[in-house]
Amino acid sequence: MHIAYLDESGTHKEARYFVVASLVAFERNTHHLAREMDQIQAKYFRDWPEPVFFHASSLRSPEDRVPEPFNKLSAKERAGIFSDVYQVIANSHARIIAVAMEKAFMTSDPYERGFEEIVSRFDMLLSRIHRDHGEDQRGLIITAESSYKNNLESLARKISTEGHRWGNVHNLADIPYFAPAKNTRLLQLADFVSNAVFAHYETGHSRYFNQIAPRFDQEGNRIHGLVHMTRNRDDCFCPACVQHRS
């Protein structure tokens, strides 16, 4: 079983981009990733009695609005958490599938389109594993709870019965499950993934995007795990657009 943990960034009205991203992990690797996040908590919050909800936007809050327990840290320590979390992702065996959409370019709901892209590419990933290694793998999608829940439940049922715009789904074990991100470390990691992809396309801040870029799902030199939807594709030099032109 492979599990795709899914989250989004760019929900605020002012954002030019909307990102849907997933961190795909083999079931036996989820425990190790969660333990590494626990170790980060122990490093920065030795006396904090409860599991810390690691959330990228909380760490980036203005100095006078940083929520607990991050307000107990210096700006340097908060930056250290960013580096440590992204290093966990970079060192892992997980794969990333992300869709960055310029809102002005989209003619349909960006979350629904992004979700459909991820379902299709996750299903293809599982098919490649079967083809290359002879292993039957099933996939499960776990999504952070949000205001999109009702729409996604309807879309997921439609994809399950009718397929997506590129074909049918073959390897998913069930419809997506929704969970609070604070309850699972892997959804928290997915939040950092979506945040890094959003920052790359929205502001050009690419440090963390570059740090985790090797984890985008790929086959040889072909990247399957990154999609960029923009009206200026010919002028973009991100890995997805460069590949598209070549």
Around Cβ 54, how many Cβ atoms within 10 Å? 24
- Percent of the chain at pLDDT > 90 equals 68
User: H/E element holding 2?
Assistant: strand 2-9
User: H/E element holding 87?
Assistant: helix 75-91
DSSP annotation string for 91-148: HSS-EEEEEEEEGGG-SS-HHHHHHHHHHHHHHHHHHHHHHHH-----EEEEEE--TT
- 132-181 pLDDT tens trace: 877 788 899 998 887 667 677 777 676 666 656 655 677 787 778 888 89
For residue 207, which amino acid is it? R
Q: Predicted confidence band at 111 (pLDDT cuts at 50, 70, 90)?
A: confident
- 23-49 pLDDT tens trace: 999 999 999 999 999 999 999 999 898
* Confidence (pTM): 0.92
- The pLDDT value given to residue 160: 67
